[in-house]
Amino acid sequence: MSEKLKDKIATGVLYVISSLIVLLLVAFIGYIVIKGAPVISSKFLFGRPSFSDAGGGIGPMLFNSFYLLIVTLIVTVPLGVGAGIYLAEYAREGRLLNFIRLCIETMASLPSIVVGLFGVIVFVQMFGWGYSLIAGALAVTVINLPSMTRVSENAIRAASAGVKEASLGVGATQWQTIWKVVLPSAMPQILTGVILSAGRIFGEAAALIYTAGMSMSALKLSNFDILSKASPYNLSRPAGTLAVYIWQVNSQRTIPDAAQVANGASAVLVIMVLIFNFSARIIGKKIHEAYSGKK
């Protein structure tokens, strides 16, 4: 068998494997969207659950998911980018760096259910926060921090290779170089990591069951008193997210039209995750073109 024929066979096998993966993903997404699309409407998206009659909505859970997403990113992004800067620019090879990397890899391999149990012991019980948005946000931060740190470190290393020496050569300090030159150059990759983390946060369920709770109460969005338990913006209130609600509806059948609501909520969740992923690619490309001078 000639080398060209071997190469063609190997290429064909790889194409078949890639096509199977794409078809599997399309079939999975298509099935969920087709099953849930007939349920989706403005009333479904913005209404509240109905426990006595069919036709309830997912409005409170959808708001809780977005609010938890914002709070989690506020905590995760500064910590992840800061850790990436330290590992890429300040850390030196040695036992300390090896220990830090071991901790990051260990955190990245933790199952979300284990993080949820950690959250209920530490944030819910030890800190006395109870089931709350802040407890859920910190638990999901533990899950996303390793990936955010790795993305930031790799982006900063790749960006600093071509511009760091030039900036230091004209008299800039190391921090000025990082803040004014390296970070803007690395921002497309960092932003891509942020948006991909957002998709994972939005779809997380196991860790939030034990920390944020499963509250489905109606929300009065005009109540901006964050110290009030009735305010939707209060971080100490329990808040059931969309992913948790899907699990609850399927497992406990707490509403009359549980199957239809679960299908519709699953379709909304999948569509939102797809939007996050496509946005990561588009925004990252636009920012890269802006910084590289391409149109």
In the numeric block, which tokens belong to residue 234?
């209060």
With the C-alpha atoms ordered 145, 167, 90, 101, is the resulting torsion angle positive or negative? positive
CB 148 within 8 A of CB 193: yes
Cα distance between residue 239 and residue 231, in whole Å: 11
**In angstroms, how far is the first alpha carbon of the chain from the final one?**
47
Per-residue pLDDT reduced to its tens digit, 217-267: 777 878 888 888 788 899 999 988 999 988 888 887 777 788 888 889 999
Per-residue pLDDT reduced to its tens digit, 66-104: 999 999 999 999 999 999 999 988 888 888 888 988 999
pTM for this model (two decimals): 0.85
> CA–CA distance from 153 to each of 30, 146, 166, 176, 216 (Å)?
36, 11, 20, 18, 39
Residue where the block lists tokens 């638990």 = 139
Cα distance between residue 183 and residue 175, in whole Å: 10
- pLDDT of 295 higher than 80: no
Topology of the domain comprising 42-292: MetI-like fold (1.10.3720)
- pLDDT of 199 higher than 70: yes
